[in-house]
Structure 1
Amino acid sequence: MAPLKSLAKEYPIIDTNFQSFCASHTIFSVEDFLLHDLDALIAFADNDHTCSHTLKQGIDQLLSIIDSQQPPLLNGLQLLEDAKQNKHVLPTGFEGIDALLGGGLSEGQLTELVGPSSSGKTQACLLSASTVSKHKSSVIYLDTSNSFSPQHIANLVGQTSGYVYNNQADHRYIQEVLDRIICYSVFDLYQMFDVLHQLKMNLKCQIGKSDCHVRLLIVDSISSLITPILGGSGPQGHAMMISAGILLKKLAHEHNIAVLVTNHVVGGEGGTSKPALGESWKSVPHVRLLLSRDYGSNVSNISILKHPSMASGKTASWTMYSLDDKM
């Protein structure tokens, strides 16, 4: 979702007058519009006797823009053709995960890693990023909690490939791997929307080019961005959460990239843990994987919670790499 002023060129009805009307109600972006009470906003527009009609046209235009973010309806044949054309897999570098998923992360799909702290979510993200980058593809990494570490990437490349950082030739190779991982520090959902919309424009520019395509988008963690907006009894936070999920899936589908996000767990009934973000979110990812780790062990277990072509409950395990900090 974009700032309103950036939409004026494409949608003339969102002119300075409409922007001023929105600004008077602390609406500066489409996200702000989603958070606002629509009925109240229409009522304010009705009370403006000088330009009530054009203000309501602007509101309708914003609703149309939001509606356009919804994924297209596809029939069964179109879905089959799309699956045949698109869905290569990207190895994560973890043999257990890759074997469980039939090779790795599927392009065109949103995969979610769910697990408690220190279960291996961030390490899976870092190793996936380095593995894809080693195959000369670009990775976009959205870091929401300062957990991205270039040194850990270098260590992982060394441990998985036998390279030594203090060897000049190996150092150059590791630098090339790191150069293909573009990391953004993102600390709220609005920042993520801005980055994703800029990425969408950049991905349109890479169509037809063969050099270093973006193949993987990582958000570690999506739950830390969404949880703060879910408070209160209004529906706006949930609307923004679903909009974020739709945008991520649209990027995956339209540009044939794999999207990997992480999510924490919260306490459920009977003391059992469950994925955060609630029932509304669980239908968003194509694939949901649950990570767990026994206390004091470096073995992480992974099981399928949801997969479009595999049975839930299928499990595997992998040995976490030894890094300086806990992941």
Structure 2
Amino acid sequence: MAPLKNLETEYPIIDSNFQNFCASHGIFSVEDFLIHDLYMLAAFAEQNVSSERLKEGITQILSIIDDMHQPWLNGMELLEDAKRNKHFLPTGIQGVDLLLGGGIRVGQLTELVGPSASGKTQVCLQTASNVARNYMMLYLDTGNSFSPQRIAYFLGKTNELASAQAKNQILQKVMSNILCHSVFDIFAMFDVLHQLESNLRCQERGGGCRIRLLIVDSISLLIAPVLGGTSTRGLNISCTASMHIRSHKFKVDGYRTCFDGICWIFA
């Protein structure tokens, strides 16, 4: 979900007047609506000379939020989904794969939590090096922690018996399959995901290679600057981020496609 000003082209009702009204109440993005009293906001809109248009804008924002939620599923649909999602993307780390029952579970979010320097980024990097041997993946780097040298090191350890030429070919393939994007605030991440949705739609229609894994390292670095001193705000933004990433199961020509796995670091 992008800042309100980025939505004006697609939704003319979210014009400068509506944006200024929202800004006067501390609302600058769709995410901000989730932590504000919308009944109070509607009451303020009633007092404005453009009350009807403002209320239409609020309704439009709520519609955008609703579109992000997963559709309601009945018991049989949930069972079928569980059967489909028995597949995994191995991390390449024996202990972690054993703990997770095979690796990063297809269609679900895997969250790594731990204190500083506990090895969370190393798990992500080794997972990336293992998955990228066969698939395209996206690595969102929020703290300049992505290390091509570590990727090369992991590949070298698992290909010790290969020739120098074979090692170089594997390295080139893996590096070309990892799309690394630096993002330094939560809204920039939402913008990247919004653009990714468009790319995946074109990719699906064109029959291109699918992105099979998304890694966010680390989500907490994006949330911390906007906590505002209250845990409630941080929790709301964290839940919004999770919901937004999970919502990237896109319908393309009637077919539902999704990331095969999502891994992010928290704390």
Match of 2:219 in 1: 222
Q: Aligned residue pairs: how many?
A: 261
Equivalent position SS for 2:70: coil
Question: 1:6 and 1:122 mapped to 2: Cα distance?
Answer: 32
Match of 2:253 in 1: none
Equivalent position SS for 2:248: helix
Question: 1:205 and 1:199 mapped to 2: Cα distance?
Answer: 10
Match of 2:156 in 1: 158
Q: State the 1:201 CA deviation.
A: 1.9
Match of 2:88 in 1: 89
Question: 1:241 and 1:101 mapped to 2: Cα distance?
Answer: 23
Match of 1:146 in 2: 144
Quick check: 2:91–2:104 contact (8 Å CA) kept in 1?
yes
TM-score, normalised relative to structure 1: 0.71
More helix by share: 2
Question: 1:211 and 1:173 mapped to 2: Cα distance?
Answer: 21
The answer to whether 1:255 aligns with 2:258 is yes
Q: 1:211 to 1:66 in 2, by over 3 A?
A: closer
Equivalent position SS for 1:113: strand
Match of 2:171 in 1: 174
Equivalent position SS for 2:263: strand
Q: Which piece of structure 1 moves more, 170-179 or 102-111?
A: 170-179
Q: State the 1:238 CA deviation.
A: 2.9
TM-score, normalised relative to structure 2: 0.85
Q: 1:133 to 1:234 in 2, by over 3 A?
A: closer
Quick check: 1:141–1:219 contact (8 Å CA) kept in 2?
yes
Q: 1:163 to 1:215 in 2, by over 3 A?
A: farther
Q: Which piece of structure 1 moves more, 183-192 or 30-39?
A: 30-39
Equivalent position SS for 1:97: helix
The answer to whether 1:194 aligns with 2:183 is no
Q: What are the ranges of 5 or more consecutive residues in structure 2 without an aligned counterpart?
A: 251-256
Q: State the 1:67 CA deviation.
A: 2.5
Question: 1:26 and 1:209 mapped to 2: Cα distance?
Answer: 42
What is the one-letter code of the residue matched to 1:125? Answer: C
Equivalent position SS for 1:127: helix
Q: State the 1:186 CA deviation.
A: 1.7
Question: 1:121 and 1:218 mapped to 2: Cα distance?
Answer: 11
Deviations 1:231-277 (A, max 9, x none): 4348544322211111122226851420011122xxxxxxxxxxxxx
Q: 1:114 to 1:236 in 2, by over 3 A?
A: closer
Match of 2:42 in 1: 42
Match of 2:13 in 1: 13
Match of 1:204 among 197, 201, 204: 201
Q: State the 1:122 CA deviation.
A: 0.9
The answer to whether 1:2 aligns with 2:5 is no
Deviations 1:167-225 (A, max 9, x none): 45532431221111111112221111111211222222222555431111001112222
Question: 2:223 and 2:245 mapped to 1: Cα distance?
Answer: 14
Equivalent position SS for 1:103: coil
Q: State the 1:105 CA deviation.
A: 0.8
Q: Which piece of structure 1 moves more, 22-31 or 84-93?
A: 22-31
Question: 1:190 and 1:71 mapped to 2: Cα distance?
Answer: 21
Match of 2:116 in 1: 117
Match of 2:58 in 1: 59
- 1:254-273 equivalent positions in 2, closer than 5 A: 254-264=257-267
What is the one-letter code of the residue matched to 1:249? Answer: R
Equivalent position SS for 2:14: coil
What is the one-letter code of the residue matched to 1:217? Answer: L
Q: 1:103 to 1:18 in 2, by over 3 A?
A: same
- 1:99-138 equivalent positions in 2, closer than 5 A: 99-135=98-134, 137-138=135-136
The CA RMSD measured in Å over matched residues stands at: 2.6
Question: 1:20 and 1:116 mapped to 2: Cα distance?
Answer: 41
Question: 1:23 and 1:164 mapped to 2: Cα distance?
Answer: 59
Q: 1:163 to 1:191 in 2, by over 3 A?
A: farther
Question: 1:85 and 1:151 mapped to 2: Cα distance?
Answer: 36
Match of 1:80 in 2: 79
Deviations 1:90-130 (A, max 9, x none): 01011122223232111100001112222221111001111
Question: 2:41 and 2:201 mapped to 1: Cα distance?
Answer: 34
